[in-house]
Each structure stands twice: as structure tokens, then as C-alpha cells.
Chains A and B, each alone.
Chain A
């Protein structure tokens, strides 16, 4: 009796349909996989690695790949990870006149071909110095401290350009995105403790990254493939608590940066409040400036607040600064504008 029942399930139309749908999905997946590999290539992302000597996240050295964005590939760029694990055509070696540019995805510029990378724009405008980019997506201001320590020790630099944007300050205290890839500060009263980054890449995430289909969906449909210890959004309460500690964190990080080398000079590029500019609100300073203003008179710190520059530029040309509506990274003309300002206000001085 039981056997009959089981066999009737397997011969039923519902079972046949389940197989049909499952087969359809498998076939669809295979077709999509080929499609997103060869016809509309999905983005490739470089493998990450943790340099445990300096607690610095970078990429596995010597990789190459293609970055694409947009469902019909509105943007496409080649990336080349160099001998040191950074997105740069240049081989990084110790030498004189090196100026490191430290930052997150704004410095990593995976979305540009090498000729338009920030370090190359600097290089074109100032052939005297050697510009090295040290950008890694999702890095925070606290992580820049570790990167700076690494660049000073490895490349013996005397100055550095550090790009401050989006969530750099708050993420020095708490994670807003998924993976704890940054060194962070644990602040309790006046006591500040550095918490090193923990390497954790969930095996499922690693596995999924091998499939072009998933990478395509991840990039173009804003899917968050967060698994394991992922915490995508912190509650407002946690963010509010972290907000109160931002000034303390900035002071600590800059003081520690200045301690790395006695004659080290730092240039902070502070991104403007672009939304306010588009709305026509005239602001004297960017939102980051108040946290850095204590160092305004420090001769080893140069603050390049972009608020005024971008505001004037927008009023004159009415051109926005973003790559696209959905990608808030700076576009190429904005990068060029920033490079010219930095050379004039920092490098030449």
C-alpha cells in the first residue's frame, strides 16, 4: 500500500512539474552563466588578502580582471593588482619622492581603466613625484592609520594624501556594512583601544563569487550576499552612540598618524556635501571639516575641504560630480578638479 503511494507521487503530474521547473532553473542557470561570462560579462572582483604584519587589507598580488557595471555594461574597466596587492599598473618599490594616496573605493577606482586612476592623474599633473595608490573598498579612517604605518615602513614616505568620504569616520567606531575588515577603535570614556581587523570570508560567499550569474546580480540588482557574521544595518541607537564618539576618534587617529614619523606631513581631502550643493544651499565647509578643524593650524596637517571648490564649480557649470545616479563615486572631471586643487594647495606648497 505504502509502496503504491510513493510510486504514485513520482508518477504524478506535480512531481513531473517539479522536475520540469527544477530542470528549467538548472538550464537557465547554465545559459546565464555562459551569457554573463562571454556575452554580457559580469564584473570580476580581485581576491582579498590580509597583511598580518600591518593588519592591512589589500588584494592578493598579481591578478588581473574586468570590472563591469550596469545591466548592459554602462561602465567597463580593466583592473590590475600589482606586486604589493593594490589596484595599480605600477610595481611598488621603495624609492625617493613617493607620495602615497590612501583611501577607500574612491582611491581604489576599480571602475576606471588604469590611465584614469587617481595616481595616474596625479602623475600626469606632477611628474616630479611618484604617486602610489593605496585604496581598498570599505576602508575607514581608522584603517587608514594602519595603511599609513605600512606605507611609511615599506616605502619610507614623508607625506601622504588621505581621501575622506562617505562613512569613513563612523566606520572607525562601528561597522555599517557587512564585514569587519577595518581596524576599529573601541572607545570607553577617555580610554581608546585599537581592535585589529578579523579575517573572515564566509565559505559560501567565496563559493558564490565564482559564478558570473551571482556576481552580475550582486552588482546590478543591489543584492547583499551577506552571510555568516554579517551585520548590514546597525540600529539608529548604535549609530547615534557612535556619532558622539566621532570627534574623539578623529583626534586619536590623527595624533597617532603624526606619531608614526616626526616629519610626516598629511594632506586630508574632505569630500563636499554634494547634495547641499545641488539643492543650492551655500555651505562654508564640508560635513567632515568640523571633526578636523582642531588641526587647521597644525603645520604638519593640510586640510583640503572640497566644499567651496565643488560649490563654485557647480554654480558655474551646473555639472554633477557623480559617475551616475546610482554610483556616487566621483566622475573623471571631478577627479581631475581635485587633483589640480591638491597639487596647487598641497604638493606645490
Chain B
């Protein structure tokens, strides 16, 4: 069930009505959330529901045992069990074929004849998201940052909470689980903001991402026949496609949760208004980057053990973060490239230069900010070529053709409305830059914004088929 499908909105309307009828009874409410979340997930493939249930049960019981135990070694052993089980699922479903392929290739390179066929595995939707979410719970219990819960329904509802189940934000148990233990209260203001986020998220997905996808697919699948300008346009359009697809999903997820009285973390803070790569990573997929910071970078020592170890740690988290996206060298190179972008800032100590928002005190940004913003956009767009390409060699070929400048003109007919909509996106994002969401305090402007956005959805939305979200594959 996709957020941009008619089925989902019927499902959500029915869910919403029953939810607020029974919200006073907390247990019943959580059972209702759990049931709805399982139906939501089963809509895609009911067989993989068992994975979520197993993952939930493992972390529920392991966390309880960790909490009860006083023996440090036993705690460690239990934590390892949870991590191995969760990463085991990920390794099997997501990375098995990658490892087999590469193992065979290495054997062949050193002269061995290897005959191993890849496995026929379907990647369960959202596996990288919910495994990270459950793992964070067990690790936090182990670190004694929170107690283990004895309420299995509440915990299962937290793990499978349908608005953010398949593509995040990856919520920490410390933040979201307590919300399942409390009574929810409907807040008019929250619901207004939620509605605004949903409409804006749909605009990003249906109007921008799905329309960009038409041309991006055309260019990337046939890059050898394209001229330089088309290849540059392909990369630029993909930069907007990936941003709008993923942040659109997050906006809808956060908006839906607000309508249900839940508060999810901000996942994107207008990343294309970043003045350097460090700022970009403070604004892009925040729930994942902070997850890696808290559960990988800091345990590795962070930046406390000298510059060399810190550099090693930076490379590790960027490469692991790339690999998290998919079992392909393209993602690893993408991560490594971002590490390379980040390292100079770290070495010169400028990685925390831009902690505030662009033009925080002024209406327009300074020339220096615009320059930084342009450089950051060019760097990230360049890296997106690796992210989008089918293989590393395709990405290198794409880039070499892009810089050959053989033909400067382009035969591509990208409709003007798409460029206009991208400008609208940037304008609204810029106006909202000081907030975590797009919402105008002036009621008249807010209603005007909603109506204008819905009209754009009707006129320019792409509805030819149910377009899936890119991040579902991760």
C-alpha cells in the first residue's frame, strides 16, 4: 500500500475514524495500531510479516533479559544475539547475493574456477528501517538509557508503526516508545501542521519526483546515447527526484503521525540549502545519520582518539551508510565520495561552521552562502550519479561522457512545468527554512498554500501507474 495510492487513503480514513473513537483506551488503541500496521505491511507481501514478528519477539525478550540480568558478560552475550539476529536477516535478504557475486569474482581473479549461483531472494520492503529501529531499542536498554518494556503489544506497535514502517524516519525507542505508553490527545494545531506536511509530501512525490523519474530513467538507462548536457540534466533531475521522493515520504509519514497524536523526528531539513557537505549531512536523512553517529561512530571512538582514528571512523560511517542503501559497489563509492568531501572540512576544523540556517538574520543569503550552496549542490549531484547508476562501471562511463562536452545541445524535451515546479519547491523550502515543516502561521496564506498545492497535484501530478518510493528498496 503506497501513500500515493487511492487504497491507502481509504485505509487511512477508516483507521483514523476508529482510532479516535477508541483512543481513550490505550491498550485497545495500540492493538488497533498493530493490526492496521500488519495489514498495511501484508498488503505488499504477507509472508514477510513473519520477519517483523520474529524481529519484534527477539528484541522484546532479549531486552527484558538484558534488563533483568546483572551479569555484564551475559548482557553482552544477549546484545550480541539481538544484533546477530537482526543483522543476519539483513545480511541474508539484502547482501547475500552481493557477497556471493564478489566472492566468486575474487576466486576467479586468483585463478580458481568457482561455480556458485546467486540465490533467488526477494528483498522485504523496509527491512533496513525496522531492523535498525528494533536494534536501537535493545542497544539503548543495554546501555541503560531506558528500561525494557514489559508491554509486548506496545512494543510491537512501536516496531511496526505503519506511517514510518517501510521508509522511516528510523525512530529511536527512547523517543517513540513512550508515546505508545501514553494516552494520545488530538491537537488541532498539530493536525493542521500534519495536513500541511501530507499535502506538501504528496506534491514532492507525485508532482516532482515522479515526473523527474520519467526523464531520469530515460537518461540513465540509455546514457551512452546521450549528449553531455542531457547527462548533466539527468544528474540534476535525479538530485531533485531522490530528495522529493524520500523527503516526500518522510513528510507524509510525519504528517500522518501528527494526525494520530504521535511526534516523529524530522528527517530532512531542506538539504539543498546547505553551504557545505557537513551541513548537508546534518540536513539529509537525519534519522539514519544520527543513528550511525550514536551506534557506530561514537562507539568506534568518534573524534576523541586523535585525528587519524577520527578520519578512519569518518570513512567507516560514510561507507557503511552507503552500503546500508544497497548491496552494490555504487552505494559504497557514493558513501566514500561523501567521506572525501567531508574530510577536508574535518581536517581544517570547518565542519561545524554552518550550524545555523542559511540567511538566518536576513531575507536573502549572502554571496558567500550562495557560492557554498552551489558548490555543495554540484558535489552532491555528482555523487548521485553513483547512487543512481546500475553499476560502478556505468557510473564511471556516465561521468566520463558527461565531461566530454561533445554535443552541447540536448534533444530532451523536459516540460517547462517541471522546472517551474522545481522553482516552486525551492521557494517554499526557502521560505520554511527556519522551521522543520512547511506551514504558514497566517491562516489565509496557509489555506491558499494548501489549495494551490492541491491544484498543482491535479494538473501536474503523475498518476499513470502506482509509482513506488525509491527508498522502499533499501
Q: A residues near B, CB below 8 A?
A: 12-14, 16-17, 20-21, 24, 27-28, 31-32, 35, 40, 71-72, 221
Contact = CB atoms under 8 A, between A and B. Distances in A.
Interface stretch (B365-373, B405-413, B451-459): B451-459
A21 B187 contact: no
A13 B459 contact: no
Chain B at the A interface: SS class: helix
Interface stretch (B188-196, B272-280, B310-318): B188-196
B459 A17 contact: no
Contact of B20 (A14, A27, A32): A14
Interface of B: 20, 185-188, 191-192, 195, 417, 447, 450-451, 454-455, 458-460, 463
Contact of B455 (A14, A20, A35, A72): A35
Contacts of A16: 188
A221 B188 contact: no
A20 B459 contact: no
Contacts of A21: 195
Contact of B459 (A14, A24, A31, A40): A40
B455 A32 contact: yes
Chain A at the B interface: SS class: helix
A105 B396 CA distance: 53
B455 A13 contact: no
A221 B186 contact: no
A13 B451 CA distance: 22
Nearest to A14: B186
A98 B450 CA distance: 57
Nearest to A31: B451
A17 B192 contact: yes
A17 B450 CA distance: 15
A28 B463 contact: no
Given A17-B191, A24-B447, A28-B450, 15 more contacts: A12-B186, A13-B188, A14-B186, A16-B188, A21-B195, A24-B451, A28-B451, A28-B454, A31-B451, A31-B455, A40-B459, A71-B460, A72-B417, A72-B459, A221-B463
A28 B457 CA distance: 13
Given A24-B450, A27-B451, A17 B188 contact: yes
Contacts of B463: 221
A126 to B, nearest CB: 40
* A-B CB proximity, top 10 nearest: A13-B188, A14-B186, A17-B191, A16-B188, A13-B186, A17-B188, A28-B451, A31-B451, A71-B459, A13-B187
A21 B460 CA distance: 23
B196 to A, nearest CB: 11
A31 B460 CA distance: 17
A20 B190 CA distance: 13
A20 B192 contact: yes
A211 to B, nearest CB: 14
16 contacts: A12-B186, A14-B20, A14-B186, A16-B188, A20-B192, A24-B450, A24-B451, A27-B447, A28-B454, A31-B451, A31-B455, A32-B458, A71-B458, A71-B459, A71-B460, A221-B463
